[in-house]
Amino acid sequence: MTYKYYKKIFQGKEMPFAFIDKDILTENTNQILNRAGNKKIRLATKSIRCRAIIDYLLAVNDQIQGLMCFTAPEAVWLSKLGYDDLLIAYPTVHREHIRDVAREVKKGKKIYLMTDKEEHLIRINQIGEQEKTILPICLDLDMSSKFPGLHFGVHRSSVNDKKRATTYLEAVKKNPFVALVSVMGYEAQIAGVGDNVKGQGLKNTAVRQLKKRSLKEITKRREEVVEMIKDQGFALELVNGGGTGSLESTILEEGVTEVTVGSGFYTSTLFDHYQKFRHLPAAIFAIEIVRQPAKQIYTCLGGGYVASGAAGTDKVPLPYLPPGCKLTKNEMAGEVQTPILYNGKEALSIGDPIFMRHSKAGELCERFNELTLISKGRIVEKVPTYRGEGQSFL
């Protein structure tokens, strides 16, 4: 899409605002369905944070089913609103949060609590006994790789091999009010690390080699642990893996029953740098030019929506349209102002928009109460984000 296309649609709209191009969202969704092969797709709500978009995606195709939530309060909130099949991606240790989950499970809802330590199991078991209900749990299998001098992946689960999985299973058996029915292994070093970054040829080559080496190891690890769990009599309802950046490799594993996708639907800037796929930007925000302090410098109000993770320029939002925009090195994107260096063909004036992209998908929604949805050159709807519904989970 072009600068003029979006500028015309939003003529007169107060800035800043965020929007979703539903035509591009649909194209991204179709591509993701193709990339996922015959695996079910679980939506990562952390990367969406808008119920209207979640509903839209769930209705697109039966292959998309189930949600991966990032906290227990989010899962409980969604459950009370009618959603089901909720996998909580991170451990929950607050007793009242576990109790709230238990009360939803007692109603017949399917909510999986994430675990990897005996302490998790003991706490969940205590609440389950008090609430007189057996709570479904998921084993978070660590999928990082350890190379000489390098931890390739994220510091996530303590269960990172077959031996530790055996110890974990022994602990599960001692806690009768938990039911191990699922396994998740998130290969962050494959799914979340770009391997086709412009201007980083040597690093790209190194990352691809590390990914190839890591994949061989972690595929075997997941297969062995899942088989061991089944051999010990545990009936697994799901084995979850992957993310937007690893679909091509994760779907090859026969034991994986579903993959998780979130960021690929919006396609934030961190997902521009993969060799095997390229989706289009569907989530964009606009900031307003409020002054021009020098030739080819246009200063906008606000815009400093920096993403989480290791501090670096890759976490800063980037100008998208018009072409020829870039951030200044000294100021970058700021809370109160964002200067834009512009050397393009469009004639920019005070009051014009600069269209920006966030580094991470769902985090954009923490800055706006609503998303404006557009299709075929017009605004079709305005829908609340989680924030717009008064919800902020982390």
| 289-329 confidence digits (pLDDT tens) | 999 999 999 999 999 999 999 888 999 999 999 999 999 99
Q: Which residues contact 43 (CB under 8 A, 6 or more apart)?
A: 54, 57, 58, 64, 66, 67, 68, 260, 261, 262
Consecutive sets of 10 residues in the chain, 394 residues long: mean pLDDT of each?
96 97 98 97 98 98 97 98 98 98 98 98 98 98 94 94 96 98 96 90 92 94 96 97 96 97 97 93 98 96 94 93 96 96 95 97 96 98 98 91
C-beta of residue 68 within 8 angstroms of C-beta of residue 45: yes
C-beta of residue 333 within 8 angstroms of C-beta of residue 305: yes
Residue keyed to tokens 């109603």: 107
Q: What angle do CA 72, 232, 161 make, to 5 degrees?
A: 65
C-beta of residue 161 within 8 angstroms of C-beta of residue 143: no
How many Cα atoms sit within 13 Å of 149 on the Cβ side? 0
Domain with CATH 3.20.20.10 in the chain: 22-266
pLDDT for 280 equals: 97
List the one residue out of 299, 283, 239, 189 whose CA is nearest residue 66: 239
* Cα–Cα distance for residue pair 163/159, rounded to 1 Å: 8
**Which class is domain 283-385?**
mainly beta
Domain with CATH 2.40.37.20 in the chain: 283-385
**3.20.20.10, 3.30.1330.30, 3.20.19.10, 3.30.56.10: CATH of 22-266:** 3.20.20.10
Q: Is 39 helix (H, G, I), strand (E, B) or coil?
A: coil
Helix axes 95-106 and 72-80, enclosed angle (nearest 10): 30
C-beta of residue 305 within 8 angstroms of C-beta of residue 367: yes
Q: Is 208 helix (H, G, I), strand (E, B) or coil?
A: helix
* Cα–Cα distance for residue pair 298/75, rounded to 1 Å: 43
Q: What is the pTM of this model?
A: 0.95
pLDDT for 198 equals: 87
pLDDT for 365 equals: 97
pLDDT for 394 equals: 84
